[in-house]
């Protein structure tokens, strides 16, 4: 009997390994087996009608170039790349379902060998919904994230390895060039020079603006936390007004204020001076400092609110003990307040750094559209994200732009992960508990 059972088990598992659902049908789990067969049938129907050609197109990106004069339609390389991604996604999905099918039939056979009754489809479905409700609840949002976030990101990454852009845009055929775009960025004269200039400024900007915004907000929170300050509600509400105004409106307002015909230059000329090009092509460091100031104006209120909430949870007994030991106010701040605040806001601090590194709006609204000598389609205040926009959207260098975006991702992810792993929030989690 045992030999017969093992033989039956082996046959049914092999059936499901050969064709999805056959083992379930052999075990009289008809609905489940039919669903697995339906998935397989839909996949095969798609592959034989579109999928095989889409996969071929993914690797070739087209073989026939369009010629409107001769009436030749030709291949659309970008659509072939996208459809190829869908074909690969379909293959990954069917592999996951296939593995689930094998796990299911093995589990079913284990139940049979233990002499237990096989649950009906309705009962199995209710059990699944009860035990793995999170899977059902997250199915729709995860699918949405995959379609609207993951696929575009993968598409952008793949574009970085093609020659798409410049003169090579549909109806011209796009081709795979491997690391060609990265070689241009790191070796090609003007592009290389521009990349390293912008990267250096981008890092300075990210660290400086993050520190300024963070410590500016902490300073305001500490100041408003003092008992001697009157009208705390008003002073806390005042910075929030700057935050409540949409950022791009604030940026456009500051652009007007510092323009040649703006209020700042008006009072300078009224005082007998000459109008200053704060944001002009010859502004130099003035434009960078104004960018830092404006970004601080927008961002410090958020840091202040965050720090205020954290300071309200501080243990005042620590300060009393420190004062008894003779610690000065500065010593208390360095040894008690600052470590606690940084520990509590490490994740926010890293997020703020990444946001500042990729802060597109500040210099786009203050100085957007400026191209300077010594830069390839950029100015001295552009960040990598602004240069990426200039390359891809304004000048059709999509391949190089995609390569720049991939470099941005690598830089920000490596820096943020390194800082977090080395931070007290990661290494000394129990210190402030």
Average pLDDT per consecutive 10 residues, the chain (433 residues; last block may be shorter): 47 86 87 92 95 94 81 86 94 94 88 81 81 81 88 92 87 91 91 95 96 92 81 73 79 92 91 90 91 92 86 79 83 85 87 93 90 91 94 90 93 89 70 54
Amino acid 51: pLDDT: 94
Amino acid 269: pLDDT: 92
Peptide bond into 171 cis (omega under 30): yes
Contact call for residues 218 and 303 (beta carbons, < 8 A): yes
Q: How far, in Å, CA of 78 to CA of 123, rounded?
A: 47
Q: Rounded to a whole number, what is the distance in angstroms from the first to the last CA of the chain?
A: 61
CA 173 to chain centre: 30
Tokens of 141: 């949002």
Q: How far, in Å, CA of 36 to CA of 33, rounded?
A: 5
Closest CA to 400 of 160, 61, 158, 156: 160
Contact call for residues 75 and 64 (beta carbons, < 8 A): yes
The alpha helices in 150-284, defined as continuous H runs, are 151-159, 180-187, 189-224, 232-244, 247-257, 263-270
Q: How far, in Å, CA of 211 to CA of 319, rounded?
A: 25
DSSP string for residues in 92-149? HHHHHHHHHHHHHHHHHHHHHHTTPPPPPHHHHHHHHHHHTHHHHHHHHHHHHHIIII
Contact call for residues 324 and 240 (beta carbons, < 8 A): no
Amino acid 430: pLDDT: 58
Q: How far, in Å, CA of 155 to CA of 174, rounded?
A: 14
Contact call for residues 384 and 198 (beta carbons, < 8 A): yes
């Amino acid at each position: 009997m045992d030999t017969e059972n093992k033989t039956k088990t082996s046959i049914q598992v092999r059936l499901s390994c050969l064709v999805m659902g056959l083992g379930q049908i052999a075990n009289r789990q008809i609905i489940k087996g039919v669903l697995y067969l339906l998935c397989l049938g839909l996949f095969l129907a798609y592959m034989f009608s579109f999928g095989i050609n889409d996969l071929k197109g993914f690797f070739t990106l087209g073989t026939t170039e369009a010629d409107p004069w001769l009436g030749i339609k030709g291949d659309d390389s970008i659509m072939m790349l996208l459809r190829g991604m869908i074909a690969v996604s379909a293959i990954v999905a069917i592999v996951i379902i296939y593995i689930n099918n094998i796990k299911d039939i093995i589990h079913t056979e284990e139940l049979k060998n233990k002499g237990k009754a096989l649950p009906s489809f309705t009962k199995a479905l209710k059990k699944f919904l009860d035990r793995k409700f999170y899977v059902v609840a997250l199915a729709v949002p995860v699918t949405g994230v995959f379609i609207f976030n993951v696929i575009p990101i993968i598409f952008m990454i793949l574009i970085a390895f093609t020659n798409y852009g410049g003169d090579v845009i549909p109806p011209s055929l796009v081709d795979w060039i491997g690391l060609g775009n990265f070689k241009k960025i790191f070796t090609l004269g003007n592009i290389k020079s521009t990349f390293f200039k912008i990267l250096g400024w981008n890092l300075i900007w990210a660290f400086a603006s993050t520190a300024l915004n963070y410590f500016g907000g902490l300073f305001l929170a500490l100041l408003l936390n003092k008992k001697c300050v009157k009208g705390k509600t008003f002073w806390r509400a005042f910075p929030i007004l700057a935050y409540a105004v949409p950022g791009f409106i604030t940026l456009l307002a500051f652009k007007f204020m510092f323009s040649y015909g703006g209020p700042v230059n008006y009072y300078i000329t009224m005082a007998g001076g000459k109008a200053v090009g704060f944001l002009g092509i010859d502004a130099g460091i003035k434009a960078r400092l104004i960018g830092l100031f404006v970004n601080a104006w927008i961002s410090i209120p958020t840091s202040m609110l965050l720090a205020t909430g954290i300071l309200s949870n501080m243990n005042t007994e620590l300060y009393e003990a420190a004062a008894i030991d003779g610690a000065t106010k500065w010593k208390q701040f360095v040894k008690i307040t600052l470590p606690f605040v940084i520990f509590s806001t490490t994740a926010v601090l890293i997020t703020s750094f990444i946001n500042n590194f990729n802060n597109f709006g500040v210099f786009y609204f203050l100085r957007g559209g400026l191209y300077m000598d010594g830069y390839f389609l950029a100015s001295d205040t552009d960040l990598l994200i602004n240069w990426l926009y200039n390359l891809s959207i304004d000048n059709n260098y999509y391949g190089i732009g995609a390569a720049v975006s991939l470099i941005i991702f690598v830089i920000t992810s490596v820096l943020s992960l390194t800082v977090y792993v080395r931070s007290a929030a990661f290494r000394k989690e129990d210190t402030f508990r």
